[in-house]
Amino acid sequence: MALEEKREKRPPVTPMMIEEEAALRNGSRGLPPGPWAEAVGPRPRTTERHIAVHKRLVLGFAVSILALLAVTMIAVLLSVRFEECGAAADGPPRAGGNGSLSGAARQPPGTGQPPGRPEEEKARGGEAAAAEEKQEEEEEEWQRRRELPPWARPRLPRHLRPLHYNLMLSAFMENFTFSGEVNVQLEVRNASRYIVLHAHRMHIEAVRVAEDKLAGGVRVARSFLYPQTQVFVVVLNRSLEVQRSYNLKIIYNALIENELLGFFRSSYVLHGERRFLGVTQFSPTHARKAFPCFDEPIYKATFKISIRHQATYLSLSNMPVETSVFEEDGWVTDHFSQTPLMSTYYLAWAVCNFTYRETVTKSGVVVRLYARPDAIRRGSGDYALNITRRLIEFYEDYFKVPYSLPKLDLLAVPKHPYAAMENWGLSVFVEQRILLDPSISSISYLLDVTMVIVHELCHQWFGDLVTPVWWEDVWLKEGFAHYFEFVGTDYLYPGWNMEKQRFLTDVLHEVMLLDGLASSHPVSQEVQQATDIDRVFDWIAYKKGAALIRMLANFMGHSVFQMGLQALKRVGKSVNIQEVMDQWTLQMGYPVITILGNETTDNVIVISQARFVYDSDAKPKDPALGDNSYLWQIPLTIAVGNTSHISSEAIIWVSNKSEHHRIPALEEASWLLGNINQTGYFRVNYDIRNWRLLINQLTRNHEVISVSNRAGLIDDAFNLARAGYLPQNIPLEIIRYLSEEMDFLPWHAASRALYPLDKLLDRMENYNIFNEYILRQVASMYLKLGWPTNNLNKSLVQASYQHEELRREVIMLACSFGNKHCHQQAATLISDWISSNRNRIPLNVRDIVYCTGVSLMDEDVWEFIWMKFHSTTAVSEKKILLEALTCSDDRNLLNRLLNLSLNSEVVLDQDAIDVIIHVARNPHGRDLAWKFFREKWKILNARYGEALFMNSKLISGVTEFLNTEEELRELKNFIKSYEEGAAASFSRAVETVEANVRWQRLYKEELFQWLRKSLTH
């Protein structure tokens, strides 16, 4: 359907890391920061115990994850919930009150405190003191009973259940405040005189409790906020009666904060004027900052939202607008349709003056994309809008479940803590992950935008329709959506082979870096209280979850997998899911399979398994458990090959620490290959003889081995060597064959695997030896492929995606390691841009050229890039210009940039983290970023501490390539000084730096000795 540009004259009738997928970019020696090596009631636990594996579980493994998904899909199809709260009310209940905004909710609250005369303030002060004294008395009584009072417990008490919220808001954008009135219909499950619900950082003006549908109220003895657990407590004069319904009415006001969570504000500049907008981010526990609510996923309810705002703005929420009431004073109130049953963290709204374009799916779903008017006018949202329509149709057909709401709005905002949030019916994206200008966007940028949209739309089925009771198994919905990033992109671009190839480098290889630490954790974690929730939203949940699901999908076959998702009633009834899945979801880490030839018996091999760890000296989380306690049931696919042929694969289920297996046709010159196409979540090691045979095969005829396994061999070899399982020369010998490799994936795997090794070496005196060796491996392919031509007038999505990405990868390696021709070409292109003021740099290598130019050329080039960063309005261009500034060799410029990064008017809050990390990637700035991080930690922690991923991403990015004893001491001393918050991230950081120091001590000289010898031959 043709797109229509519309100006919103009235509100239209119209979803743990995720995880941002932003690449961690290197900033040195012309290496662009982008494409090189992305960094990366509780049930009884059986985690990290010895799990006896029985043969009867072999087939059970194949259906286990599907059975988990079955529960989800059955719930979708039957409209039930994963809740302990019981069945939902039959009809949409109405909240008490007349449905109009109260006087308090209609007036701007100013500073957030209600006005009053001095005598009124004095009276209120006396009342507050008396209430506080009463609260202390009650808490002492609870202590005598050896119980925590209900407001001091980590979870909400279960005696009440919300059925429906009627929420009325007034947004005052001129002073960034809002007022609200919420009416909550409550069902009483157990008698109590306490109502405890979440509320945080707001001023409560009034509270009333009444029996639903009956006259008169229940007298409120007192009420108070309890910041320690972020709850609001209403103490009644009498207990609420079981199986009765009551209405809780709360009038309140709060600030539209200048931060990243709750109901917060953002801004942009249009025609020289700064404009503001308000938008929400409630996941996982921030709805309580916007309205008093039962802010746990188990408490699903329906919501009826009304938003009052100035007529110059429009408002959006999960549902379409039913009616709009215009007032004479230039205000308008939008009343939105009632939502389906949903958790608070998927609720959303926005107040902005954006414009939009729309399209409609075959099934009649209205899809709109809202963005800044200038972005809509340029067509920057058209790509996202078109693929969203196609993807909704794809998911409806794939799952055989229709999209459940009448509309889906995509909202592009300048400031947001994550790449996107899948709020039901109103998905919010940071501009860099949804707006795309075809004239200046690279294939890599298009791929980033595509995969974020694919992920968020998948959540409209897996996540929004059915929500977990609690946060322990968030890995399932996030892992599934992450896996479908590749399946959905394959639907849009069938020739790109995302699931079979790019998944390996972007997900499997990346998460194995993190999961190879002794401080890792299982995908399923216990979450006792709200402060633990951040731990479950990390790349282990997203990427390991996706890798486990992919392992199953490939083992079963994709057609069987798809059919299983459509109708899985039979599976869920007969499989003990927990028993089967303990090995993969409740054990941290992953196994390394070692295959050894048996010298005494022909055609027999020895297969052993052990937990893979980078630092064998690292202390395990549980000192009582050693790595020998881990055991998995592993679907090992295996094939035998020779110089011209490879056999069909066979599967061996490895259940014990060590097993003997007979392999037919295993001749003297034959080699073995395990984990065919890297569908399994484990590494494979071999005896040296087999490694030599594989290296020889790659050199003589690499195409006998599949492209996925060529990439897998490279990644396994580098990481096995880094952890000390292999001699240091083996991976460097493997990549010699790359001069003949014309497929993108092995080059991409090599580039990513070289990245951490490069960072371990880049501040050493002998670094030039390593640098020269890598340049020799790259040189011939660089000359063969050359540079792309300027393609401004060509289609953005080129048919030769693999070829263009290969060329980009090789140019990146050549420039980063100092190829003279590559440096000259980059400098020439930058100089031409400066002199002509016309940017003729090919789109797909712009970030490489920008970074190389800033690294090599003088300060004037840095200032030129800085100027362009400020003047461009294209978000994709702005992103790579900012990253290029971190590539400078000038420490004064790097320090200047670090200090500017904390100015929100210059660098957006979510981008400041990337600036600091990219400076840390630069060997000239690593110590500067580390010093800056320590000095500004209080500011950084205050800004990002509550946002999922952000603190952990920052801590990892700044510390992961520290590699000296002195830096390790500095890290440990810093942690002792700032013990509060981010404990898990700092624990991983210490282990990572200890592993770096250990590698330097044990293997550095071995590597350099081999390199010297190799370069002299």
- The set of residues, in sequence order, having a beta carbon less than 8 Å from that of 746 and lying 6+ positions away, is 707, 710, 711, 714, 738
What does 266-315 look like in DSSP terms, one character per residue? EEEEETTEEEEEEEEE-TTTTGGGTS-B--STT--BEEEEEEEEETTSEE
d(CA 1, CA 922): 47
Question: Taking the mean position of all CA atoms in its chain, how far away is CA 320?
Answer: 28
Spell out the alpha helix ranges (H) of 524-626.
539, 545-556, 558-566, 569-574, 577-581
> Three-class SS of residue 565?
helix
Q: How many CB atoms lie within 10 A of CB 116?
A: 11
Catalytic member of 456, 510, 809, 960: 456
d(CA 148, CA 229): 12
Of the chain, the end-to-end C-alpha distance in Å amounts to: 64
d(CA 524, CA 586): 6
Q: How many CB atoms lie within 10 A of CB 828?
A: 12
β partners of residue 168: 181, 306
Q: Which two tokens stand for residue 664?
A: 């037919």
Backbone angles phi, psi at 759, to 5 degrees: -70, -30
Which residue pairs, CB below 8 angstroms and at least 24 apart, start in 687-694? Answer: 687/595, 687/596, 687/597, 688/727, 688/730, 689/597, 690/595, 690/597, 691/717, 691/726, 691/730, 693/669, 694/734
d(CA 409, CA 319): 9
Q: Contact at 8 Å (CB) between 634 and 593?
A: yes
Closest Cα partner for 1011 from 719, 670, 776, 760? 776
Dmax over CA atoms of the chain, in Å, equals: 98
Q: Contact at 8 Å (CB) between 484 and 558?
A: no
What does 691-740 look like in DSSP terms, one character per residue? HHHHHHHHHHHGGGS-HHHHHHHHHHHHHHHHTTSS-THHHHHHGGGGGG
Backbone angles phi, psi at 20, to 5 degrees: -75, 145
Which residue pairs, CB below 8 angstroms and at least 24 apart, start in 757-764? Answer: 757/718, 757/722, 758/26, 759/26, 759/921, 759/960, 759/961, 759/963, 760/961, 760/963, 760/996, 760/999, 760/1000, 760/1004, 761/1004, 762/28, 762/923, 763/923, 763/926, 763/963, 764/1004
Task: Identify the sign of the CA torsion 942, 948, 953, 955.
Answer: positive
Q: Is 456 a catalytic residue?
A: yes
d(CA 916, CA 920): 6
d(CA 239, CA 217): 13
Catalytic residue numbers read 456
